[in-house]
């Protein structure tokens, strides 16, 4: 199977699909880095940076920085323009991270659950759309998907579901994340 096989009239050309994958994934990883930076800043402000949640968030942030660096390289190699919304994701990501960490360690972990569940679905659909001609990109997406699932599982094990208003909080974050994905593929 090749990327774009079985596409319908009006569907993206294979090159456009690949560009969207790289653009939105770079934007998403950039946003994830900013969320974790916001959380770590809030944990420092409140004197909780050296706690269990702080150590876990710092480790997740390192992984997200590696993911972002990979997509930064792919953007350069494949000459893909970034989303014009990067300044928005910069501020919004940091604010979301800081706000959830200020709500408490469990709310910070609930944020991770919401983001990673959304990204799991997003990466799964991308991997399914990429053909054998894009095996390397598909392998990258699948590898990062597995790492994002591990972050979600760690956040759940850290008591994310005990966060105040967990269902409301995660629903709001998932909705915002899905909107950010949709916008970043297009703008």
Would you say residue 66 has pLDDT above 90? Answer: yes
| CA pair distance 147, 154, nearest whole angstrom | 11
Q: What is the pLDDT of residues 134-177, one digit of tens each?
A: 889 999 999 999 999 999 999 999 999 999 999 999 999 999 99
Confidence at 10, pLDDT banded by 50, 70, 90? confident
> Across residues 107-133, what is the average pLDDT?
91
Q: Which of 10-14, 110-114, 128-132 has the least mean pLDDT? A: 10-14
Identify the structural domains of the chain with CATH numbers, from first to last: 14-186 (1.20.1260)
Q: What is the DSSP string of 56-103?
A: HHHHHHHHHHHHHHHHHHHHHHHTPPPPTTHHHHHHHHHHHHHHHHHH
Q: What is the pLDDT at residue 49? A: 86
* Confidence band, pLDDT 50/70/90 cuts, at residue 5: low
DSSP the chain: --TTTTPPTTSPPHHHHHHHHHHHHHHHHHHHHHHHHHHHHHHHHTT-TTSHHHHHHHHHHHHHHHHHHHHHHHHHHHTPPPPTTHHHHHHHHHHHHHHHHHH-HHHHHHHHHHHHHHHHHHHHHHHHH--GGGHHHHHHHHHHHHHHHHHHHHHHHTTGGGSTTHHHHHHHHHHHHHHHHHHHHH-
Mean pLDDT in residue range 109-129: 92
d(CA 123, CA 161): 23
pLDDT at 15 over 70: yes
Asked if pLDDT for residue 58 goes beyond 90, the answer is yes
Higher local confidence (pLDDT), 75 or 16? 75
**Residue 120 pLDDT exceeds 70:** yes
Q: What's the rounded Cα separation, in Å, for the pair 104 and 53?
A: 10
- Positive or negative, the CA dihedral 79, 85, 87, 93 is negative
pTM: 0.89
Question: Residue 91: what pLDDT?
Answer: 95
Task: Give the pLDDT band of residue 185 (cuts 50, 70, 90).
Answer: confident
Q: What is the pLDDT of residue 178?
A: 94
């Amino acid at each position: 199977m090749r990327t774009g096989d079985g596409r319908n009239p009006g569907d993206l050309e294979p090159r456009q699909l690949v560009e969207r994958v790289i653009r939105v994934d770079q934007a998403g990883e950039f946003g994830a880095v900013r969320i974790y930076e916001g959380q770590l800043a809030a944990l420092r402000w409140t004197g909780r940076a050296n706690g269990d949640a702080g150590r876990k968030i710092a480790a997740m942030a390192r992984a997200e920085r590696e993911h972002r660096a990979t997509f930064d390289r792919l953007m350069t190699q494949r000459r893909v323009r970034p989303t014009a919304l990067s300044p928005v994701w910069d501020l919004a990501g940091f604010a979301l991270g800081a706000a959830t960490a200020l709500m408490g360690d469990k709310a910070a972990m609930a944020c991770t659950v919401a983001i990673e569940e959304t990204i799991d679905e997003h990466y799964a659909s991308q991997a399914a759309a990429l053909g054998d001609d894009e095996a390397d990109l598909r392998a990258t997406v699948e590898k990062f998907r597995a790492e994002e699932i591990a972050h979600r599982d760690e956040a759940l094990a850290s008591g994310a579901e005990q966060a105040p208003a967990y269902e409301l909080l995660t629903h709001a974050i998932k909705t915002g994340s899905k909107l950010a994905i949709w916008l970043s593929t297009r703008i």
